[in-house]
């Protein structure tokens, strides 16, 4: 597993596990819905961003761990991924 040089806490593990979990989730449900098949990458980014934010904040407040990757808090990385996913979803569905 590739761990960034300057990281603390479980930041890299949170990012990797959330990406893999969301990807497996989308693969499982992609076969059943045309909507998920068409928007799978955007939905994966949205779900991943939400999961990263939730797990990072849980570790920060309950376990008192500082989770960073390259000196950037993981909740901020999750927020950026969530914003990118929402923007692409709105753009691809002609809502933006």
The pLDDT, as a whole number, for residue 31 is 65
Which pLDDT score, from 0 to 100, does residue 34 have? Answer: 65
Structure tokens at 89: 């979803």
pLDDT score for 83: 92
Task: Report pLDDT digits (tens) over 16-67.
Answer: 778 788 778 777 766 666 666 677 778 888 888 888 888 888 887 877 777 7
Question: Terminal CA-to-CA distance of the chain, rounded, Å?
Answer: 38
Residue for token pair 């950037």: 72
pLDDT at residue 2, rounded to an integer: 57
Asked whether the beta carbons of 78 and 57 are under 8 A apart, the reply is no
Q: Is 31 exposed, middle or buried (0-12, 13-18, 19+ CB in 10 A)?
A: exposed
């Amino acid at each position: 597993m590739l761990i960034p040089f300057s990281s603390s806490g479980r930041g890299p593990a949170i990012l990797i596990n959330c990406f893999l979990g969301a990807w497996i989730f989308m693969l499982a449900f992609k076969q059943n819905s045309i909507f998920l098949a068409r928007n799978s990458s955007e939905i994966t980014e949205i779900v991943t961003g939400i999961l990263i934010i939730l797990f990072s904040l849980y570790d920060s407040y309950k376990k008192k761990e500082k989770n960073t990757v390259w000196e950037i808090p993981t909740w901020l990385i999750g927020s950026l991924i969530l914003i990118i996913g929402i923007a692409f979803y709105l753009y691809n569905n002609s809502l933006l």
